[in-house]
Amino acid sequence: MILIKVNPFYPEEEKIKVAAKAIRSGNLVAFPTETVYGLGADAFNENAVRKIFEAKNRPADNPLIIHIASIEQFFEIVDTEQAKEIENVANKVWPGPITFVAKKKEGCKIARSATAGLSTVAVRMPAHPVALALIRQSGVPIAAPSANLATKPSATKAEHVFEEFKDKVDVLLDAGNTFYGLESTIIDITRNPPALLRPGPFTVEELERIFGSIEVSEGARGLKTADVPIAPGMKYRHYAPDKPLVLCDKDKIAKAIDDAKNKGLKPILLVSNETASHFNGVDAIALGSEQNMYEIAKNLFDALKRLDKTDADIGIAQTFPERGIGLAIMNRLRKAASVKD
């Protein structure tokens, strides 16, 4: 792997050129976006896209997001009618942490495996200067899932990517921490009203202002129900630390600690600064202040990854109000905690 440190705000052209060359040669490049790190390949190159699935150990029926750097590229891959309908909105919200699932343009050059053979395509124009520079310099849209092994928490810094992919990725662009720390909001615009498939930094409140109304299913909140129209990837296990993680309301934490201790298990808390100081004496990974939910979002995946490196036997995470970015935080926490109990 070639590891390249790059300025997050003023990416150095010669460094971006090295990464863009790797993309054009059909190789994998891990790069920062404003949400999480992505594991990218030339979206037009079938062989290159397959390498992503292999490296991540990702099921072939879970499609990727196509990253673009211009509205022209949007029109190249999305059905013209649909692209025209959404163009104004797209210009308003992009570049930014929001992905549209739209009708795919017939005969477009996107590799079949990138969309898992679906007739729709997920597209986003990221706001991170390094991501935009890389897409522009490559001259092609970049297919990229989050740069983590399947089922694991997403990568919010280059070290996370390095740990999991050092032998599997050709170039890693290290621009430090990502800005939001949670993956983009995904909205399905082929439906009326548009449906939220995954909550993210672009909030439901903002979406409602743009679209009038949107559909928010239980599935999008991370709750399990039978009839949820959700992103294909959502049926898979997600964000799971190796250690068990219990999610509970603040007023149940004391009991969860006792329960763990009674079973001879050493607990560690994944909670806000405020909650951590309430339970001083118990090990804790503090996520940040409840006064700033964006800080908690930013630290969440790193905390989930750190949990596995502690000597604790079980993590106890607190719930947060599902407003604003809180909805996305709770979606990730529920998925991280849901498997084990």
The residue ranges that bind Mg ion (CB under 5 A) are 146
Helices (H) and strands (E) in the chain, counts: 11, 15
- Residue matched to tokens 């990568």: 155
Q: Which is nearer to ligand TXA, 40 or 267 (CB)?
A: 40
Which residues are paired to 171 by β-bridges?
A: 2, 29
Q: Which is nearer to Mg ion, 99 or 146 (CB)?
A: 146
Q: Which of residues 117-146 bind ligand TXA (CB under 6 A)?
A: 118, 120-122, 124, 126, 144-146
The partner in contact with residue 90, picked from ligand TXA, Mg ion, none with C-beta cut-offs of 5 to 8 angstroms by kind, is: none
Site string for ligand TXA, 144-183 (x = CB under 6 A): xxx------------------------------------x
144 binds, among Mg ion, ligand TXA, none (CB under 5 to 8 A by kind): ligand TXA
Say how far apart CA 111 and CA 67 lie, in whole Å.
13
Q: Which of 49, 50, 95 is nearest to 71 (CA)?
A: 95
Say how many C-beta atoms besides its own lie within 10 A of residue 25's C-beta: 11
State the nearest-atom distance from the C-beta of 36 to ligand TXA, in Å: 5
Measured distance CA(202)–CA(64) in Å, rounded: 19
Closest CA to 130 of 3, 11, 2, 5: 11
User: Which residues in 90-109 contact ligand TXA (CB under 6 A)?
Assistant: 99, 101
53 and 159 Cβ atoms separated by less than 8 Å: no
**Minimum distance between the CB of residue 210 and ligand TXA, rounded to whole angstroms?**
18
Cα(185)–Cα(100) distance, integer angstroms: 9
The least distance separating ligand TXA from the CB of residue 65, rounded to whole angstroms, comes to 5
41, 49, 77, 186: which one binds ligand TXA (CB under 6 A):
186
- Look up residue 249 and give its amino acid: D
State which amino acid sits at residue 99: T
Q: Which residues bind ligand TXA (CB under 6 A)?
A: 33, 35-36, 38, 62-65, 99, 101, 115, 118, 120-122, 124, 126, 144-146, 183-184, 186, 197, 231-234
